[in-house]
Amino acid sequence: MRRGFVMTALAALVGLGLSCGKDGTGSVAGNLSVQLTSPNSGADSAIVFTITSPAPLTSAAAGVGLRLFAQPLTGTATRFVLTGRLTTNTTILTIGVADVNAASQYSGTIQGIAQPNFALRLVPFTGYTLTFIR
């Protein structure tokens, strides 16, 4: 019985030793979804915006039914243009990032929004927001 206790204690110590130094907060590469909130859901057909990030993005893909135009993904500020029907609370863009745990460090600034007749909405873009979701 004593030998069983010693073996269990040894196994627990080995497990504890192997887990030392691993706090689970390291970088985890992956994707973030960029969602648009709009007071004119479905009534806009183009958006120009810049994403500011702590590190260069690794990829970018347009949401369903949208067409993407983007600058090279080389810096920490990248401008994007999306065309197509923009609806609120849908993923308009999926970006590849070096650390999904840093989602709060990503931000988006809207520079322009166009209606289907190509008329630009006037600044400020009240009610429009970009949200980054893990």
pLDDT at 4 over 90: no
The answer to whether 93 and 73 are in contact (CB under 8 A) is: no
Tell me: the pLDDT tens digits for 75-107? 999 999 999 999 999 999 999 999 999 999 999
Lowest mean pLDDT among 5-9, 51-55, 62-66, 126-130: 5-9
pLDDT over 70 (residue 8): no
CATH architecture of 28-133: Sandwich (2.60)
Report pLDDT digits (tens) over 34-70. Answer: 999 999 999 999 999 999 999 999 999 999 999 999 9
Q: Does residue 120 contact residue 113 with C-beta atoms inside 8 Å?
A: yes
Give one DSSP letter per residue of 36-59, joined into a string.
EE-TTTTSEEEEEEEEE-SS--SE
Q: Which of 50, 28, 68, 38 is nearest to 110 (CA)?
A: 50
Is the confidence at residue 2, as pLDDT, over 80?
no
Cβ(2)–Cβ(94) below 8 Å:
no
